[in-house]
Structure 1
Amino acid sequence: MRLALACDGVRVRYGGIEVLHGVRLSLAYGTFSALVGPNGAGKTTLLDWCAGAAGEASATEGRLWLDGRAAAAWPAARRASAGLRYVPFERNVFPGLSVLDNLRACGATAAFSRFPELEALSSRSAGVLSGGERQLLAVAGALFGRGRILLLDEPTHGLAPGLADRVLAELASAARDDGRAVLIAEPQQERIADHADFLWPLDRGARLTAIGA
Protein backbone atom coordinates (compact mmCIF):
# COMPACT_ATOMS: atom_id res chain seq x y z
CA MET A 1 0.00 0.00 0.00
CA ARG A 2 1.23 3.49 -0.85
CA LEU A 3 1.85 5.83 2.06
CA ALA A 4 -0.32 8.93 2.13
CA LEU A 5 1.03 10.53 5.30
CA ALA A 6 3.88 9.76 7.65
CA CYS A 7 5.37 11.68 10.55
CA ASP A 8 8.28 11.03 12.86
CA GLY A 9 9.81 12.65 15.93
CA VAL A 10 6.87 15.00 16.47
CA ARG A 11 7.27 17.16 19.57
CA VAL A 12 4.91 19.99 20.45
CA ARG A 13 5.20 22.33 23.42
CA TYR A 14 2.77 24.85 24.85
CA GLY A 15 4.71 27.16 27.11
CA GLY A 16 6.98 24.96 29.20
CA ILE A 17 4.83 21.83 28.81
CA GLU A 18 5.66 19.27 26.13
CA VAL A 19 2.41 17.72 24.89
CA LEU A 20 3.80 15.28 22.29
CA HIS A 21 7.01 13.36 22.92
CA GLY A 22 8.58 12.22 19.65
CA VAL A 23 5.42 10.70 18.13
CA ARG A 24 5.53 8.79 14.86
CA LEU A 25 2.84 7.20 12.72
CA SER A 26 2.04 6.36 9.12
CA LEU A 27 -1.17 6.28 7.12
CA ALA A 28 -1.66 4.41 3.86
CA TYR A 29 -4.16 5.02 1.10
CA GLY A 30 -7.05 2.60 1.30
CA THR A 31 -7.03 2.42 5.11
CA PHE A 32 -9.17 3.82 7.90
CA SER A 33 -7.24 4.42 11.13
CA ALA A 34 -8.01 6.00 14.49
CA LEU A 35 -5.99 7.75 17.16
CA VAL A 36 -7.47 6.53 20.43
CA GLY A 37 -6.92 7.69 23.98
CA PRO A 38 -8.50 9.76 26.73
CA ASN A 39 -8.86 13.52 26.69
CA GLY A 40 -5.45 15.10 27.13
CA ALA A 41 -3.60 12.25 25.41
CA GLY A 42 -2.46 14.53 22.55
CA LYS A 43 -4.78 13.37 19.77
CA THR A 44 -5.97 16.82 18.71
CA THR A 45 -2.48 18.26 18.99
CA LEU A 46 -1.12 15.62 16.61
CA LEU A 47 -3.87 16.21 14.05
CA ASP A 48 -3.31 19.97 14.34
CA TRP A 49 0.40 19.51 13.74
CA CYS A 50 -0.09 17.27 10.71
CA ALA A 51 -2.53 19.78 9.19
CA GLY A 52 -0.30 22.77 9.89
CA ALA A 53 -2.78 24.16 12.40
CA ALA A 54 -0.69 24.10 15.59
CA GLY A 55 -0.10 27.84 15.42
CA GLU A 56 -0.61 28.46 19.14
CA ALA A 57 2.20 26.08 20.14
CA SER A 58 5.32 27.69 21.60
CA ALA A 59 7.59 25.21 19.81
CA THR A 60 7.25 22.26 17.46
CA GLU A 61 9.58 19.86 15.71
CA GLY A 62 9.29 16.72 13.63
CA ARG A 63 9.27 15.35 10.11
CA LEU A 64 6.20 15.05 7.91
CA TRP A 65 5.71 13.46 4.51
CA LEU A 66 2.63 13.82 2.30
CA ASP A 67 2.56 11.53 -0.72
CA GLY A 68 6.26 10.90 -0.15
CA ARG A 69 7.22 14.59 -0.17
CA ALA A 70 8.79 16.27 2.85
CA ALA A 71 6.07 18.65 4.02
CA ALA A 72 6.90 19.74 7.58
CA ALA A 73 7.84 23.23 6.37
CA TRP A 74 4.69 23.62 4.27
CA PRO A 75 1.99 26.04 5.48
CA ALA A 76 -1.52 24.70 5.99
CA ALA A 77 -2.69 25.99 2.59
CA ARG A 78 -0.04 24.03 0.72
CA ARG A 79 -0.87 20.88 2.67
CA ALA A 80 -4.50 21.38 1.70
CA SER A 81 -3.58 21.86 -1.96
CA ALA A 82 -1.72 18.53 -1.75
CA GLY A 83 -5.02 16.84 -0.89
CA LEU A 84 -5.10 16.97 2.92
CA ARG A 85 -8.43 17.89 4.47
CA TYR A 86 -8.75 18.53 8.20
CA VAL A 87 -11.99 18.69 10.18
CA PRO A 88 -11.16 20.12 13.62
CA PHE A 89 -13.39 19.59 16.62
CA GLU A 90 -14.49 23.24 16.66
CA ARG A 91 -14.71 26.08 14.13
CA ASN A 92 -15.22 23.55 11.36
CA VAL A 93 -17.96 25.23 9.27
CA PHE A 94 -18.60 28.66 7.76
CA PRO A 95 -21.23 29.99 10.22
CA GLY A 96 -22.38 32.84 7.96
CA LEU A 97 -23.20 30.51 5.05
CA SER A 98 -26.14 28.18 4.63
CA VAL A 99 -25.74 24.43 4.84
CA LEU A 100 -25.98 24.23 1.05
CA ASP A 101 -23.34 26.92 0.53
CA ASN A 102 -21.02 25.24 3.02
CA LEU A 103 -21.21 22.05 0.96
CA ARG A 104 -20.82 23.99 -2.29
CA ALA A 105 -17.65 25.56 -0.91
CA CYS A 106 -16.25 22.04 -0.41
CA GLY A 107 -17.55 20.67 -3.71
CA ALA A 108 -19.59 18.25 -1.61
CA THR A 109 -23.28 18.71 -2.51
CA ALA A 110 -23.41 14.94 -3.20
CA ALA A 111 -23.59 14.61 0.58
CA PHE A 112 -27.35 15.16 0.42
CA SER A 113 -27.82 11.74 -1.19
CA ARG A 114 -26.22 9.99 1.81
CA PHE A 115 -27.24 12.34 4.60
CA PRO A 116 -30.84 13.48 3.98
CA GLU A 117 -30.68 15.11 7.42
CA LEU A 118 -28.55 17.82 5.83
CA GLU A 119 -30.84 18.28 2.85
CA ALA A 120 -33.65 19.11 5.25
CA LEU A 121 -31.42 21.86 6.66
CA SER A 122 -30.04 23.08 3.33
CA SER A 123 -31.32 26.66 3.57
CA ARG A 124 -30.50 27.11 7.26
CA SER A 125 -27.49 29.14 8.35
CA ALA A 126 -24.71 26.91 9.67
CA GLY A 127 -24.30 29.31 12.58
CA VAL A 128 -27.63 28.31 14.10
CA LEU A 129 -27.19 24.55 13.82
CA SER A 130 -26.83 22.35 16.88
CA GLY A 131 -23.39 20.99 17.72
CA GLY A 132 -24.21 17.60 16.23
CA GLU A 133 -25.64 19.15 13.06
CA ARG A 134 -22.51 21.28 12.59
CA GLN A 135 -20.34 18.22 13.11
CA LEU A 136 -22.27 16.25 10.49
CA LEU A 137 -22.01 19.15 8.04
CA ALA A 138 -18.26 19.45 8.56
CA VAL A 139 -17.68 15.71 8.17
CA ALA A 140 -19.86 15.56 5.06
CA GLY A 141 -17.90 18.41 3.51
CA ALA A 142 -14.69 16.40 3.89
CA LEU A 143 -16.19 13.04 2.93
CA PHE A 144 -17.77 14.22 -0.29
CA GLY A 145 -15.16 16.83 -1.17
CA ARG A 146 -11.98 16.42 -3.17
CA GLY A 147 -9.46 15.59 -0.44
CA ARG A 148 -7.51 12.33 -0.61
CA ILE A 149 -6.10 12.44 2.93
CA LEU A 150 -8.76 13.08 5.59
CA LEU A 151 -8.00 13.98 9.21
CA LEU A 152 -11.04 14.32 11.47
CA ASP A 153 -11.15 15.16 15.17
CA GLU A 154 -13.97 13.27 16.93
CA PRO A 155 -16.24 13.18 13.85
CA THR A 156 -19.11 11.47 15.70
CA HIS A 157 -19.21 13.85 18.67
CA GLY A 158 -22.76 14.98 19.38
CA LEU A 159 -24.34 12.51 16.94
CA ALA A 160 -27.04 10.00 17.85
CA PRO A 161 -25.69 6.43 17.93
CA GLY A 162 -27.34 5.35 14.68
CA LEU A 163 -26.07 8.39 12.79
CA ALA A 164 -22.61 7.99 14.35
CA ASP A 165 -22.44 4.43 13.00
CA ARG A 166 -23.46 5.65 9.54
CA VAL A 167 -20.74 8.31 9.61
CA LEU A 168 -18.11 5.75 10.60
CA ALA A 169 -19.30 3.40 7.85
CA GLU A 170 -19.02 6.22 5.30
CA LEU A 171 -15.49 7.02 6.48
CA ALA A 172 -14.52 3.37 6.17
CA SER A 173 -16.03 3.25 2.68
CA ALA A 174 -14.12 6.39 1.66
CA ALA A 175 -10.93 4.56 2.56
CA ARG A 176 -11.57 1.04 1.31
CA ASP A 177 -13.79 1.71 -1.69
CA ASP A 178 -12.43 5.06 -2.86
CA GLY A 179 -8.78 4.46 -1.91
CA ARG A 180 -8.48 7.49 0.35
CA ALA A 181 -6.50 7.71 3.58
CA VAL A 182 -8.64 8.43 6.64
CA LEU A 183 -7.44 9.15 10.18
CA ILE A 184 -9.75 10.14 13.01
CA ALA A 185 -9.26 10.97 16.69
CA GLU A 186 -11.65 9.18 19.01
CA PRO A 187 -11.64 8.86 22.81
CA GLN A 188 -13.75 5.67 22.87
CA GLN A 189 -11.99 2.73 21.27
CA GLU A 190 -15.09 0.56 21.49
CA ARG A 191 -17.06 2.89 19.21
CA ILE A 192 -14.76 2.48 16.22
CA ALA A 193 -13.24 -0.98 16.73
CA ASP A 194 -15.66 -2.58 14.24
CA HIS A 195 -14.90 0.03 11.56
CA ALA A 196 -11.21 0.95 11.66
CA ASP A 197 -8.35 -1.05 10.12
CA PHE A 198 -5.79 0.20 12.64
CA LEU A 199 -5.92 1.81 16.06
CA TRP A 200 -3.06 4.11 17.13
CA PRO A 201 -3.19 4.45 20.94
CA LEU A 202 -1.85 7.65 22.49
CA ASP A 203 -1.07 7.94 26.18
CA ARG A 204 0.09 11.26 27.69
CA GLY A 205 1.70 12.39 24.44
CA ALA A 206 3.43 9.12 23.55
CA ARG A 207 2.23 6.67 20.90
CA LEU A 208 1.88 3.03 21.84
CA THR A 209 2.06 0.05 19.49
CA ALA A 210 -0.57 0.10 16.73
CA ILE A 211 -3.42 -2.38 17.03
CA GLY A 212 -4.94 -4.08 14.01
CA ALA A 213 -8.64 -3.59 14.53
Structure 2
Amino acid sequence: MSIEIALRAARVRYGPLEALHGLDLPVPAGTVTVLLGRNGSGRTTALRALAGTVGLSAGRVEWHGTDATRLSAHERARRGLCFVPDRQAVYTGLTVAENLALGVPGVPAPDAAPYPELVPLLSRTAGTLSGGERRMLALSRALLATARVVLVDEPSLGMAPEVAARTYRGLAALAVEGGAAVLLAEQRLPDGLPDGSLVHELRRGSRASSGEQVEYR
Protein backbone atom coordinates (compact mmCIF):
# COMPACT_ATOMS: atom_id res chain seq x y z
CA MET A 1 0.00 0.00 0.00
CA SER A 2 1.60 3.25 -1.16
CA ILE A 3 1.43 6.14 1.30
CA GLU A 4 0.57 9.34 -0.56
CA ILE A 5 0.70 11.83 2.33
CA ALA A 6 1.22 11.52 6.07
CA LEU A 7 1.58 13.31 9.37
CA ARG A 8 4.65 12.19 11.31
CA ALA A 9 4.81 12.91 15.05
CA ALA A 10 2.70 16.00 14.33
CA ARG A 11 1.96 18.51 17.06
CA VAL A 12 -0.29 21.55 16.65
CA ARG A 13 -0.83 24.24 19.25
CA TYR A 14 -3.54 26.88 19.51
CA GLY A 15 -2.02 29.26 22.05
CA PRO A 16 -1.46 27.31 25.26
CA LEU A 17 -3.55 24.34 24.10
CA GLU A 18 -2.09 21.45 22.13
CA ALA A 19 -4.61 20.00 19.66
CA LEU A 20 -2.44 17.22 18.21
CA HIS A 21 -0.08 15.24 20.43
CA GLY A 22 2.58 13.68 18.20
CA LEU A 23 0.07 12.23 15.73
CA ASP A 24 1.19 9.70 13.12
CA LEU A 25 -1.37 9.54 10.31
CA PRO A 26 -0.56 7.75 7.02
CA VAL A 27 -3.00 8.33 4.14
CA PRO A 28 -2.54 5.74 1.36
CA ALA A 29 -3.25 6.29 -2.31
CA GLY A 30 -6.26 4.54 -3.86
CA THR A 31 -7.97 4.21 -0.49
CA VAL A 32 -10.65 5.96 1.55
CA THR A 33 -9.42 6.72 5.06
CA VAL A 34 -11.81 7.95 7.76
CA LEU A 35 -10.85 9.96 10.83
CA LEU A 36 -13.44 9.31 13.52
CA GLY A 37 -13.82 11.41 16.62
CA ARG A 38 -16.00 13.71 18.64
CA ASN A 39 -15.72 17.47 18.47
CA GLY A 40 -12.39 18.43 20.00
CA SER A 41 -10.73 15.12 19.14
CA GLY A 42 -8.32 16.74 16.67
CA ARG A 43 -9.73 15.39 13.41
CA THR A 44 -10.33 18.83 11.87
CA THR A 45 -6.88 19.99 12.97
CA ALA A 46 -5.32 16.91 11.37
CA LEU A 47 -6.91 17.76 8.02
CA ARG A 48 -5.82 21.39 8.30
CA ALA A 49 -2.27 20.32 9.10
CA LEU A 50 -2.15 18.14 5.99
CA ALA A 51 -3.66 20.94 3.89
CA GLY A 52 -1.22 23.52 5.23
CA THR A 53 -3.85 25.87 6.65
CA VAL A 54 -2.45 25.39 10.17
CA GLY A 55 1.22 25.08 11.02
CA LEU A 56 2.94 22.36 13.03
CA SER A 57 4.70 23.14 16.28
CA ALA A 58 6.64 19.88 15.93
CA GLY A 59 6.80 16.90 13.58
CA ARG A 60 6.42 16.99 9.80
CA VAL A 61 4.17 16.44 6.80
CA GLU A 62 5.47 13.93 4.28
CA TRP A 63 4.26 13.76 0.71
CA HIS A 64 5.48 10.73 -1.21
CA GLY A 65 8.16 10.31 1.45
CA THR A 66 9.60 13.82 1.13
CA ASP A 67 9.23 16.57 3.71
CA ALA A 68 6.43 18.95 2.65
CA THR A 69 6.02 20.71 6.00
CA ARG A 70 7.17 24.10 4.68
CA LEU A 71 4.96 24.03 1.58
CA SER A 72 2.20 26.63 1.80
CA ALA A 73 -1.45 25.69 1.37
CA HIS A 74 -1.38 27.24 -2.12
CA GLU A 75 1.66 25.20 -3.11
CA ARG A 76 0.04 22.00 -1.86
CA ALA A 77 -3.10 22.82 -3.86
CA ARG A 78 -1.03 23.35 -7.00
CA ARG A 79 0.61 19.96 -6.44
CA GLY A 80 -2.77 18.24 -6.37
CA LEU A 81 -4.25 18.57 -2.88
CA CYS A 82 -7.94 19.47 -2.58
CA PHE A 83 -9.24 20.48 0.86
CA VAL A 84 -12.95 20.96 1.58
CA PRO A 85 -13.42 22.37 5.11
CA ASP A 86 -16.62 21.96 7.08
CA ARG A 87 -17.38 25.71 7.06
CA GLN A 88 -16.66 28.66 4.78
CA ALA A 89 -15.98 26.25 1.93
CA VAL A 90 -17.45 28.42 -0.86
CA TYR A 91 -17.03 32.04 -1.96
CA THR A 92 -20.38 33.51 -1.01
CA GLY A 93 -20.00 36.62 -3.18
CA LEU A 94 -19.39 34.62 -6.38
CA THR A 95 -21.97 32.76 -8.42
CA VAL A 96 -22.27 28.99 -8.41
CA ALA A 97 -20.69 28.90 -11.87
CA GLU A 98 -17.78 31.09 -10.73
CA ASN A 99 -17.19 28.89 -7.68
CA LEU A 100 -17.07 25.81 -9.91
CA ALA A 101 -14.74 27.51 -12.40
CA LEU A 102 -12.23 28.20 -9.62
CA GLY A 103 -11.81 24.49 -9.02
CA VAL A 104 -12.37 22.93 -12.43
CA PRO A 105 -12.15 24.26 -15.99
CA GLY A 106 -15.52 25.27 -17.46
CA VAL A 107 -18.97 24.72 -16.04
CA PRO A 108 -20.20 21.10 -16.01
CA ALA A 109 -23.02 20.07 -18.28
CA PRO A 110 -26.15 18.79 -16.48
CA ASP A 111 -25.37 15.16 -17.28
CA ALA A 112 -21.76 15.51 -16.06
CA ALA A 113 -22.36 17.40 -12.82
CA PRO A 114 -22.08 15.42 -9.58
CA TYR A 115 -25.07 17.40 -8.32
CA PRO A 116 -27.56 18.17 -11.11
CA GLU A 117 -29.53 20.12 -8.50
CA LEU A 118 -26.96 22.91 -8.87
CA VAL A 119 -27.35 23.34 -12.64
CA PRO A 120 -30.45 25.62 -12.44
CA LEU A 121 -28.59 27.67 -9.82
CA LEU A 122 -25.44 28.43 -11.83
CA SER A 123 -26.19 32.16 -12.03
CA ARG A 124 -27.10 32.49 -8.34
CA THR A 125 -24.57 33.83 -5.85
CA ALA A 126 -23.40 31.17 -3.43
CA GLY A 127 -24.43 33.30 -0.48
CA THR A 128 -28.11 32.83 -1.40
CA LEU A 129 -27.92 29.02 -1.34
CA SER A 130 -29.21 26.79 1.44
CA GLY A 131 -26.74 24.96 3.67
CA GLY A 132 -27.17 21.73 1.75
CA GLU A 133 -26.74 23.48 -1.60
CA ARG A 134 -23.55 25.14 -0.39
CA ARG A 135 -22.24 21.77 0.71
CA MET A 136 -22.97 20.30 -2.72
CA LEU A 137 -21.14 23.21 -4.33
CA ALA A 138 -18.13 22.75 -2.08
CA LEU A 139 -18.01 19.00 -2.71
CA SER A 140 -18.29 19.52 -6.47
CA ARG A 141 -14.78 20.96 -6.40
CA ALA A 142 -13.42 17.71 -4.98
CA LEU A 143 -15.55 15.39 -7.12
CA LEU A 144 -14.75 17.13 -10.42
CA ALA A 145 -11.06 17.84 -9.86
CA THR A 146 -8.29 15.36 -10.63
CA ALA A 147 -6.58 15.66 -7.25
CA ARG A 148 -3.97 13.33 -5.80
CA VAL A 149 -5.09 14.06 -2.24
CA VAL A 150 -8.70 14.84 -1.24
CA LEU A 151 -9.41 16.00 2.32
CA VAL A 152 -13.04 16.55 3.32
CA ASP A 153 -14.30 17.59 6.74
CA GLU A 154 -17.80 16.14 7.34
CA PRO A 155 -18.82 15.61 3.69
CA SER A 156 -22.56 15.17 4.26
CA LEU A 157 -23.08 18.16 6.57
CA GLY A 158 -26.59 19.51 5.88
CA MET A 159 -27.30 17.07 3.03
CA ALA A 160 -30.42 15.00 2.51
CA PRO A 161 -29.78 11.23 2.88
CA GLU A 162 -30.03 10.49 -0.86
CA VAL A 163 -27.61 13.28 -1.71
CA ALA A 164 -25.24 12.14 1.04
CA ALA A 165 -25.26 8.60 -0.35
CA ARG A 166 -24.42 9.94 -3.81
CA THR A 167 -21.61 12.00 -2.29
CA TYR A 168 -19.97 9.00 -0.64
CA ARG A 169 -20.21 6.99 -3.85
CA GLY A 170 -18.45 9.81 -5.66
CA LEU A 171 -15.71 10.08 -3.03
CA ALA A 172 -15.21 6.31 -3.11
CA ALA A 173 -14.81 6.45 -6.89
CA LEU A 174 -12.06 9.06 -6.54
CA ALA A 175 -10.04 6.53 -4.55
CA VAL A 176 -10.97 3.22 -6.16
CA GLU A 177 -11.15 4.36 -9.78
CA GLY A 178 -8.99 7.49 -9.71
CA GLY A 179 -6.28 6.33 -7.33
CA ALA A 180 -6.57 9.38 -5.07
CA ALA A 181 -5.79 9.39 -1.37
CA VAL A 182 -9.14 10.34 0.19
CA LEU A 183 -9.32 11.34 3.86
CA LEU A 184 -12.68 12.10 5.50
CA ALA A 185 -13.25 13.55 8.98
CA GLU A 186 -16.45 12.17 10.51
CA GLN A 187 -18.21 11.90 13.85
CA ARG A 188 -19.71 8.54 12.83
CA LEU A 189 -18.69 5.99 10.23
CA PRO A 190 -20.79 6.64 7.10
CA ASP A 191 -22.43 3.99 4.93
CA GLY A 192 -21.40 3.37 1.35
CA LEU A 193 -17.63 3.24 1.77
CA PRO A 194 -15.70 0.73 -0.36
CA ASP A 195 -14.30 -2.50 1.05
CA GLY A 196 -10.86 -1.99 2.50
CA SER A 197 -11.52 1.54 3.74
CA LEU A 198 -9.35 2.42 6.73
CA VAL A 199 -10.48 3.98 10.00
CA HIS A 200 -8.48 5.86 12.63
CA GLU A 201 -10.25 6.97 15.79
CA LEU A 202 -8.88 10.09 17.45
CA ARG A 203 -9.27 11.08 21.08
CA ARG A 204 -7.85 14.29 22.50
CA GLY A 205 -5.39 14.75 19.67
CA SER A 206 -4.00 11.22 19.64
CA ARG A 207 -4.84 8.08 17.70
CA ALA A 208 -6.84 5.77 19.96
CA SER A 209 -7.36 2.89 17.52
CA SER A 210 -7.00 1.90 13.86
CA GLY A 211 -8.39 -0.78 11.59
CA GLU A 212 -10.58 -1.52 8.60
CA GLN A 213 -14.15 -0.28 8.48
CA VAL A 214 -15.63 -3.75 9.19
CA GLU A 215 -14.11 -3.55 12.68
CA TYR A 216 -16.05 -0.34 13.44
CA ARG A 217 -19.53 -1.47 12.33
TM-score (norm 2): 0.90
Is 1:66–1:82's contact at 8 Å kept on the other side of the alignment? no
Is 1:111–1:144's contact at 8 Å kept on the other side of the alignment? no
Structure-2 separation of matches of 1:68 and 1:117: 40
Match of 1:60 among 57, 60, 65: 57
Letter in 2 for 1:142: A
In structure 2, the residue matched to 1:86 is 83
Superposed, 1:29-108 pairs within 5 Å as 29-54=29-54, 60-107=57-104
Structure-2 separation of matches of 1:120 and 1:188: 32
Structure-2 separation of matches of 1:22 and 1:111: 45
Superposed, 1:11-22 pairs within 5 Å as 11-22=11-22
RMSD value, Cα: 1.6
Structure-1 separation of matches of 2:70 and 2:87: 25
Percent identity over paired residues: 40
Is 2:200–2:210's contact at 8 Å kept on the other side of the alignment? yes
Structure-2 separation of matches of 1:127 and 1:85: 22
Is 1:11–1:23's contact at 8 Å kept on the other side of the alignment? yes
Q: Where do 4+ consecutive residues of structure 1 move more than 2 Å?
A: 108-114
Is 1:111–1:140's contact at 8 Å kept on the other side of the alignment? no
Superposed, 1:78-157 pairs within 5 Å as 78-107=75-104, 109-110=107-108, 112=110, 113=112, 114-157=114-157
Superposed, 1:182-201 pairs within 5 Å as 182-189=182-189, 191-192=190-191, 194-195=192-193, 197-201=197-201
Letter in 2 for 1:96: G
Letter in 2 for 1:212: E
1:121, CA displacement in angstroms? 1.4
Is 1:7–1:64's contact at 8 Å kept on the other side of the alignment? yes
Structure-1 separation of matches of 2:85 and 2:163: 19
1:84, CA displacement in angstroms? 0.8
In structure 1, the residue matched to 2:178 is 178
Is 2:6–2:50's contact at 8 Å kept on the other side of the alignment? no
Letter in 2 for 1:139: L
The count of aligned residue pairs is: 208
- Residues 154-163 or 108-117, more deviating: 108-117
- What are structure 1's unaligned runs of at least 5 residues? none
Structure-2 separation of matches of 1:21 and 1:175: 28
TM-score (norm 1): 0.92
1:128, CA displacement in angstroms? 1.1
In structure 2, the residue matched to 1:202 is 202
Is 1:111–1:141's contact at 8 Å kept on the other side of the alignment? no
Letter in 2 for 1:82: R
Letter in 2 for 1:181: A
1:7, CA displacement in angstroms? 1.2
Structure-1 separation of matches of 2:109 and 2:5: 25
Letter in 1 for 2:156: T
